[in-house]
Amino acid sequence: MKNNTIIYISIFFILLSTGSCGEKKKTSKTNSSKENITDSGITFNDFETSIDGIDTGLYVLKNKNGVEATFSNYGQRLITLLTPDKNGKMEDIVLGYSTLDKYQEGNGGYFGSVIGRYGNRIAKGKFKIDGIEYELAQNNNGNHLHGGLKGFESVVWNVDSVSQNFIRFKRTSPDMEEGYPGNLKVSVDYTLTDDNELRIEYAATTDKKTHVNLTHHSFFNLKGEGNGSINNHILQINASSITAVDKGLIPTGELMSVAGTPFDFNTPKTIQSGLDKEHEQLNLGGGYDHNFVLDQSKKNNEGLLIAAKVHEPESGRIIEVFTSEPGIQFYGGNFMDGKTIGKNGGSYDYRGAICLETQHFPDSPNKNNFPSTLLEPGEVYSSICVYKFSVK
């Protein structure tokens, strides 16, 4: 079973299924009716339509602590996530939009979406399997990024089952979709636990050899979405090296030690403290946009790697990340420019979010020294990621 990759994301969820591309469906609910609005202020009607003949909607999960998460089945997007600060104030801590229409513009910024078939970059959009070269979309400076022009974030998923704290999405990605071989059957489970964990579990099978690397792409700001820079967030990542990149953010193949560099987050420090230092890799990435090679010796009692921890001192909010994956992409919002207006009318400014994407390494199909992402018929791809929320 190559490529075991299950994603658990522990945290409180509210799931909302969504779609796009069609006219809004009429509903008996009105936008002013109390039952048509979530605790976060999102209106169900604004996510109800039909795309490619599949209905979209909004799904809400809550736990006993009042944490609310809302999802759309358009791209499996986490639309809102309400968690308390140290004073009990509930705020939405993930970036995104208040209507489905906005997510359909471009790629919706990948806000809160599932990423596939391959999270991160593949050099020149090409790889070989058994001597056959496959060409993918080149949608990022001549390279392939996050599954291509229409990746998993831009399609409607079937809601297989849903309950108060659980939702399962399913879809078959057809052979040669975005250039990838094989009919890939995918299911993704999200569970919002009463321990304030969001647990994500991925599973996939294929009928042809193919490459798979799934991840979740929420943009977090623990002060609240649209509430300024995340550079004061205190970050810890249990990693002794990163996969060094070139100017196209493609791994060179080198595992660069973080010792003595701005990439050493083994001891907690503010993100700003690292940015204040000079380093070639920071210049190439425009800041932090790198895959960290996780320490295999640090595991929780479930056997998942203890990947990262983020603490925002003003709100007291904390995220802990656990995973079965060998790497985690730390992205610090370097490409955000203030032009995007979010759910509450605020702008999403430069470095206004942090992404922590559990994953196999970028460009693994072309790097023999990286853990393999090849999935063969008869095997099951599985990945777990858990986001756990607390306060201090």
Residues marked as catalytic: 217, 357
* Sign of the four-CA dihedral 385, 215, 222, 279: positive
- DSSP string covering 242-274, please? EEEE-TTS-EEEEEEE-TTSTT--SS-EEHHHH
**Helix, strand, or coil (residue 26):** coil
Interatomic CA distance for residues 254 and 252, integer angstroms? 6
Is the Cβ–Cβ distance between 193 and 177 less than 8 Å?
no
Instruction: In whole angstroms, give the CA distance from residue 205 to residue 219.
Output: 28
Pick from 148, 141, 151, 115: which is nearest to 284 by CA? 141
Preceding amide of 351 cis, omega within 30: no
Running DSSP on this structure, what letter comes out for residue 302?
Answer: T
**At residue 165, what is the residue type?**
N
Q: What is the DSSP string of 166-224?
A: EEEEEEEE-TTGGG--S-EEEEEEEEE-TTSEEEEEEEEEESS-EE-B-EEE--B-TT-
Helix, coil or strand: residue 34: helix
Contact yes or no for 215/151 (Cβ under 8 A)? no
* Short-list 197, 218, 3, CA closest to 117: 3
Provide CB contacts within 8 A for 287, sequence distance 6+: 275, 332, 333, 334, 351
Token pair, residue 220, equals 């977090």
Amino acid symbol at 280:
E
> Which candidate, 152, 168, 56, places its Cα nearest to that of 101?
56
